Structure 1
Amino acid sequence: MISEFSAELVVDAGNILGECVLWDSKLKCLNWVDIDGSKFLEYHPATEETSVWQLPERAGSFCYCTGRSPRTYLFAFERGLAFYNLETHSFERIQDFEHELPATRLNDGRVDRKGRFVVGGYNEAGNDPISNVYRVNADGTGVCLLIPHVACANSICFSLDG
């Protein structure tokens, strides 16, 4: 049986490719990226205000950081992983990404139960599995290859019970 529901447009963001929608429990807001627009967006339901930041390059996903200055996030930018602060624009690249494969970019990512960011690539030129899935510690160290040979890493998620 199909359940009926109704939906309403809350934010008319005009995104080209909106992805990685996450709830920030500290700021009580919804964040996401517009990959092809190179933007980071934030919506506050309590005030119905939306903020938009231009990013230095396309980002496929991001995660919240602890132990860093406020408004600093770990981004899976198209050419690598980097800490980026939305207010100061400080940019700290921690790992380049598949520079020998110009058709790939970092795509979807999520934090696992141990606080590590798991992110995978996407082959924008076709379906050949030429990219990979990586894992990085929350402090930006320990980048390692998890799964080789993927065409499009998407919908990465983890079970709460392991």
Structure 2
Amino acid sequence: MRYTAELAVDAHCSLGEGPIWDSSEQQVLWIDYDEGILHDYLPSSGVHRIRKLPMKVASFALRVGGGLLIAGDRGLAFYNSADETMEFVCDPESHLPHTRFNDGKCDPKGRFFAGTASKGNVWDGALYVFYPDGSYRQLDSGIGCSNGITWSINEKTMYYIDSLAYRVDAFDFDIDTGLVSGKRTVIPYEGTKILPDGMTSDEEGMIWVAEWGGWKVSRWNPTTGERLAVVELPVKYVTSCVFGGKDMDELYITSASSPLNEAAHAEQPSAGGLFRAKIGIKGRPIHLFRG
């Protein structure tokens, strides 16, 4: 099965990342990490807004009480977009100035999972779980570039991407504690020049992986390792994806323009844009942080 994505917002992001579908407002939000900008887009009206963030942010979650939990260059913080105030939460890697937080996502219990990446591509990143009470635990270490996270329908498996390892892994997941074990590879990308990046899942239990350098998003069966479908894009550096729309059957996809030279950018004028593909398969809603 092949789908084609259309340009939804010509956002000109340097490094578009972390899309979230806000079902209460029926809008998609995402960030430009390099520029420290929060984007939101309301498909029903076509309104696209941008807001400057107080730090470079790579991922974020909506909070139950309003506002955002943001993760980026200086750890985690609460951000109130209404008055543009930020409240520092924690930075488990304050002693490692060459690392930063990257992709993150909330599980069904409202805990936030996020990992770090080295600014110099050194394998000293880690994966963490952040609890609503303010505590956190390290789940894995020796990470090159922590990226996509999603869960199986029965919540017994957490899928996870370390991009520099060129693979999608699975962990046994304890829904009660938020802890993981039994790491194993389910989708190998070794031997390719494509880095698996952000990831989401659908109501059939399949996972959708954005492919940095691959011009597409791929749908995989994580049980068999079979590629089931691709969403083709007119841009090379595809970063992440999330299901949205009133029927939750549209895939919103972020992209990057920063790696492109002048000639490549001329060939990919929509690089850095937000794309949309009508899939016909429903995705699973995001979860909010309960802290």
- Same fold by TM (over 0.5)? yes
Quote the offset at 1:63 in angstroms.
Answer: 0.5
Match of 1:75 among 60, 67, 70: 70
Question: Any gaps of 5 or more consecutive residues in structure 1?
Answer: none
Match of 2:278 in 1: none
Answer 1 or 2: higher relative contact order, Cα 8 Å, separation at least 6.
Answer: 2
1:20–1:108 contact (8 Å) kept in structure 2? yes
Q: Which 5+ residue runs of structure 2 have no aligned equivalent?
A: 156-291
Residue equivalent to 1:92: 87
Q: Which residue of 2 aligns with 1:124?
A: 119
Q: Is the 8 A contact 1:107 1:122 kept in 2?
A: yes
Contact 1:129–1:150 (8 Å) recurs in 2? yes
1:117 touches 1:135 (CA, 8 Å); kept in 2? Answer: yes
Aligned partner of 1:38 in structure 2 is 36
- Give the Cα separation in 1 of the matches to 2:4 and 2:124: 40
The superposition leaves residues 86-121 of structure 1 with CA deviations (integer Å, 9 ceiling, x where unpaired) of: 121121111024122222100000111211000000
* Paired-residue identity, %: 35
Q: Which has the higher strand share?
A: 2
Larger Rg: 2
- CA distance in structure 2 between the aligned counterparts of 1:60 and 1:49, rounded to whole angstroms: 23
What CA distance in whole angstroms lies between the structure 2 residues aligned with 1:138 and 1:47? Answer: 34
Deviation at residue 22 of structure 1 after TM alignment: 1.0
Give the C-alpha shift of residue 7 in structure 1.
Answer: 2.6
Q: How far apart, in 1, do the equivalents of 2:114 and 2:146 lie?
A: 8
Distance 1:4 1:134 in 2: 35
Contact 1:30 1:42 in 2 (8 A): yes
Q: What's the TM-score, normalizing by structure 2?
A: 0.51
Q: Cα RMSD over matched residues?
A: 1.3
Q: Which runs of 4+ in 1 moved over 4 A?
A: none
- 1:135 is matched with 129
Give the corresponding residue for 2:270.
none
**Residue 144 in 1 paired to residue 137 in 2?**
yes
SS of 2:35's partner is: coil
Moved more, 12-21 or 97-106: 97-106
Cα distance in structure 2, aligned partners of 1:4 and 1:95: 43
**Residue identity in the other structure for 1:100:** H
Q: Secondary structure at the match of 2:78?
A: strand
Provide TM-score, normalisation by structure 1: 0.90
Aligned residues: 155
CA distance in 1, matches of 2:150, 2:35: 24
Q: Find the aligned partners of 2:132 and 2:47 in 1 and give their Cα distance.
A: 29
The C-alpha deviation readout for 1:134-158, integer Å capped at 9, x for no partner, is 111235x112211122111111111
**2:100 maps to 1:105:** yes
The CA deviation string for residues 44-89 of structure 1, in whole angstroms up to 9 with x for no partner, is 000001010100111110001002xx4x100012111000011211
Partner residue of 2:8?
10
The separation in 2 between residues aligned to 1:123 and 1:97, in whole angstroms, is: 14
The aligned counterpart of 1:160 is 153
Residue identity in the other structure for 2:68: Y
User: Cα 1:158–1:5, aligned 2, differ >3 Å: closer, same or farther?
Assistant: closer
Equivalent residue letter for 2:26: K
